[in-house]
């Protein structure tokens, strides 16, 4: 499955219309951790196929989305479904090289799909 880019101009249509959860990566090409996430994010998109819509937002090019969803910096991951946006919690591991491993992202994505994210920070779309 491909990773689609969303922008300030189309995000509401994209995020409110799918029948499947959306896994959204907010980042920037100038952010080393964001660039490091590209490969595992792409691998997960292939694993999940049509079960999940994988989306990417370049926060440098989309200030409206950055203002709405980013408060603590990038990279930031969200799961959108049911008209809500759920902020994926950062890993408890403190070393940046272990943040957002493929295994961690998969674990969190599965929690979101199963509805086990009530304690996460939620926003309306």
pLDDT confidence tier of residue 114, bands split at 50, 70 and 90: confident
**Are 83 and 125 in contact, with CB atoms under 8 Å apart?**
yes
Mean pLDDT of 26-48: 94
Give CA–CA dist 95/113, Å, rounded. 27
For residues 21 and 80, give the distance between their C-alpha atoms in angstroms, rounded to a whole number. Answer: 6
Place of tokens 């994926």: 88
The predicted model gives 6-13 an average pLDDT of 90
- Token look-up 């090019």 returns 61
**How many Cβ atoms sit within 10 Å of the Cβ of residue 18?**
14
Rounded distance between C-alpha atoms, residue 82 and residue 87, angstroms: 14
pLDDT category of residue 84 using cuts at 50, 70 and 90: confident
User: How far is C-alpha 38 from the chain's CA centre?
Assistant: 11
Kindly report the CATH number assigned to the domain that includes residue 26: 3.40.30.10
Cα end-to-end span (Å), the chain: 24
pLDDT mean over 67-75? 91
The pLDDT assigned to 13 comes to 85
Query: How many structural domains are present in the chain?
Result: 1
Spatial distance between the Cα atoms of 30 and 24, rounded to a whole number of angstroms: 18
Q: In which band, very low, low, confident or very high, does the pLDDT at 107 lie, cut at 50, 70 and 90?
A: very high
- pTM score: 0.90
Domain housing 92: 3-124
């Amino acid at each position: 499955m491909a990773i689609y880019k969303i922008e300030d101009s189309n995000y509401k249509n994209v995020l409110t219309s799918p029948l499947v959860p959306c896994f959204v990566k907010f980042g920037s090409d100038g952010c080393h951790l964001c660039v490091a996430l590209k490969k595992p994010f792409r691998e997960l998109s292939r694993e999940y196929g049509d079960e999940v819509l994988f989306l990417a937002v370049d926060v440098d090019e989309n200030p409206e989305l950055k203002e709405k969803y980013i408060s603590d910096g990038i990279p930031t991951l969200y799961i959108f479904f049911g008209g809500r946006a759920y902020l994926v919690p950062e890993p408890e591991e403190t070393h940046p090289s272990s943040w957002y491993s493929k295994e961690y992202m998969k674990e969190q994505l599965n929690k979101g799909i199963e509805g086990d994210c009530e304690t996460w920070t939620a926003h309306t779309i």
